[in-house]
């Protein structure tokens, strides 16, 4: 069966908890091969990380080239006894399909595949009636964990083969309350670090022989995070720096610790680059330390840079297709966390539009069958407009 509900069910029945594939990519590969796609199963490796299977499939050899991206890996189901149905059953009850990945994001992938198959069937097996145009799929099994051997390497592999993408639709669950309310057109960047403050360990009864880093790190936390990083931009909310833990590694109540550490994360907008952001925080730290406090920041490597797909013909045709099917004009949003769109944005403009994300990662993750059918129609509308 090539409808979205059947494809979602078949994918959900593959227990593809990262990095396991469990047959999920095979389900898609079989469907796409039968429709005339050239497919490639690509496995990437890196020392210290599990090998990951990925799938690239393309039909057509000319532009314009639209690619649908997504991931078939899922988070663990948690306590399976707490589920109303089997976590990997794909069971439909009262018009709702249950299972881990139904929303995030096997359902979105299923809708894009079903839409593409319907589009090709209506065009004699071609992306466009005149024979031009290309459609492809970039599917990874490494999004829910470290994202080392997935989309970022699949894109590099495709680029090395001469593949060029004009636009991308990523089927992540972008909608907040109801299908059609939100298109994600960008994401803030993410940068983490650890603030280290040096002291001098000693006995609490003799504080003059020690240097307590706890009051110092408290002052520095306030100095670094109290003043806003910015006030937002045209398409992004304000950047924010949040301290997430403070630790001195001390179990004794009569010992002044020798060091204190505080971890933090920054979600930043297009007012900053990664380099300028680090410089801003380091400048605040130096000013607050003066000549007395000894402190430094250890920055964590980050590939979560800020990006935005600005409004234009591509976003316009997506909005039009969504409004036609759902009756809603979606908001173009840059809110939320990170996704593989941060990698894709270096290769082509990308938007995220998928299902409603309210139950993703939860027990009894589920999607109304009606939403799967509507999302398929939206993708059909995008394809029709794209190749018009």
pLDDT of residue 210: 96
Confidence of residue 141 (pLDDT cuts 50, 70, 90): very high
Q: Is the pLDDT of residue 113 over 90?
A: yes
Nearest to 259 by CA among 217, 220, 291, 226: 217
Regarding whether 155 and 243 lie in a shared domain, the answer is: no
Q: Please give the residue range of the domain that contains residue 264.
A: 189-299
Regarding whether 194 and 179 lie in a shared domain, the answer is: no
Q: Is the pLDDT of residue 258 over 80?
A: yes
Average pLDDT, the chain: 96
Q: Is the pLDDT of residue 22 over 80?
A: yes
Q: Is the pLDDT of residue 109 over 80?
A: yes
More confident residue, 348 or 145: 348
Regarding whether 175 and 30 lie in a shared domain, the answer is: yes
pLDDT of residue 230: 97
Regarding whether 207 and 92 lie in a shared domain, the answer is: no
Q: Is the pLDDT of residue 364 over 90?
A: yes
Regarding whether 195 and 181 lie in a shared domain, the answer is: no
Regarding whether 119 and 262 lie in a shared domain, the answer is: no
pLDDT digits (tens, 9 = 90+) for 48-74: 999 999 999 999 999 999 999 999 999
**How much of the chain, in percent, has pLDDT values that exceed 90?**
94
Regarding whether 130 and 148 lie in a shared domain, the answer is: yes
Regarding whether 207 and 197 lie in a shared domain, the answer is: yes
Per DSSP, 17 falls in state: B
End of a domain among 273, 299, 325?
299
Supply 309's token pair.
């797909």
Per DSSP, 358 falls in state: T
pTM of the shown model = 0.87
pLDDT of residue 304: 82
pLDDT of residue 312: 96
Question: Strand, helix or coil at 213?
Answer: helix
Q: Is the pLDDT of residue 373 over 80?
A: yes
Phi, psi of 244, rounded to the nearest 5 degrees: -115, -15
End of a domain among 240, 273, 299?
299
pLDDT digits (tens, 9 = 90+) for 221-239: 999 999 999 999 988 999 9
Per DSSP, 211 falls in state: B
Catalytic residues: 73, 143
Cα atoms in the Cβ-side hemisphere of radius 13 Å centred on 48: 3
Regarding whether 141 and 71 lie in a shared domain, the answer is: yes
Regarding whether 236 and 345 lie in a shared domain, the answer is: no
pLDDT of residue 177: 97
Regarding whether 172 and 78 lie in a shared domain, the answer is: yes
pLDDT of residue 60: 97
- 59-63, long-range: CB < 8 A, 24+ apart: 59/32, 59/35, 59/120, 59/127, 59/134, 59/135, 59/136, 60/126, 60/127, 60/132, 60/133, 60/134, 60/135, 61/134, 62/132, 62/133, 62/134, 63/132, 63/133, 63/134, 63/164, 63/166
CATH number of the CATH domain containing 220: 3.30.70.360
Q: How many domains does the chain have?
A: 2
**How much of the chain, in percent, has pLDDT values that exceed 70?**
100
Supply 343's token pair.
């990698």
Contact 266, 240 (CB under 8 A): yes
Confidence of residue 335 (pLDDT cuts 50, 70, 90): confident
Confidence of residue 343 (pLDDT cuts 50, 70, 90): very high
pLDDT digits (tens, 9 = 90+) for 278-298: 999 999 999 999 999 999 999
Regarding whether 176 and 287 lie in a shared domain, the answer is: no
End of a domain among 257, 278, 299?
299
Confidence of residue 117 (pLDDT cuts 50, 70, 90): very high
pLDDT digits (tens, 9 = 90+) for 169-211: 999 999 999 999 999 999 999 999 999 999 999 999 999 999 9
């Amino acid at each position: 069966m090539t409808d979205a509900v059947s494809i979602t069910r078949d994918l959900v029945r593959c227990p593809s908890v990262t990095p396991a594939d469990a047959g999920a990519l095979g389900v898609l590969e079989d469907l796409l091969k039968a429709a005339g796609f050239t497919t490639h199963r690509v496995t990437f490796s890196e020392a210290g990380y599990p090998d990951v299977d990925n799938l690239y499939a393309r039909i057509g050899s000319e532009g314009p080239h639209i690619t649908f991206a997504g991931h078939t890996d899922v988070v663990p189901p948690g306590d399976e006894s707490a589920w109303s149905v089997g976590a990997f059953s794909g069971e439909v009850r009262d018009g709702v399909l249950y299972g881990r990945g139904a929303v995030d994001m096997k359902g979105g992938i299923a809708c894009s595949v079903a839409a593409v198959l319907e589009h090709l069937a209506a065009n004699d097996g071609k992306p466009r009636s005149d024979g031009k145009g290309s459609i492809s799929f970039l599917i990874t099994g490494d999004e829910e964990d470290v994202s080392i051997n997935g989309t970022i390497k699949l894109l590099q592999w495709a680029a090395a083969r001469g593949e060029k993408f004009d636009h991308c639709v990523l089927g992540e669950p972008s909608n907040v309350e109801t299908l059609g309310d939100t298109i994600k057109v960008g994401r803030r960047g993410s940068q983490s670090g650890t603030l280290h403050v040096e002291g001098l360990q000693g006995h609490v009864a003799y504080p003059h022989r020690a240097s307590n880093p706890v009051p110092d790190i408290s002052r520095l936390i306030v100095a670094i995070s109290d003043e806003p990083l910015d006030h937002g931009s045209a398409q992004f909310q304000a950047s924010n720096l949040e301290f997430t833990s403070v630790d001195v590694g001390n179990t004794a109540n009569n010992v002044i610790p020798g060091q204190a550490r505080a971890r933090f994360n920054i979600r930043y907008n297009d007012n900053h680059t990664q380099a300028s952001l680090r410089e801003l925080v380091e400048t605040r730290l130096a000013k607050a330390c003066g000549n007395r406090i000894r402190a430094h920041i250890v920055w964590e490597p980050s590939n979560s840079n800020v990006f935005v797909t600005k409004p234009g013909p591509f976003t316009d045709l997506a909005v039009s297709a969504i409004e036609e099917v759902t009756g809603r004009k979606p908001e173009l949003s840059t809110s939320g966390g990170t996704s593989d769109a941060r990698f894709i944005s270096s290769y082509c403009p990308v938007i995220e539009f998928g299902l409603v994300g309210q139950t993703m990662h939860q027990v009894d993750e589920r999607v109304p069958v009606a939403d799967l059918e509507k999302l398929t129609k939206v993708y059909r509308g995008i394809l029709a407009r794209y190749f018009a």
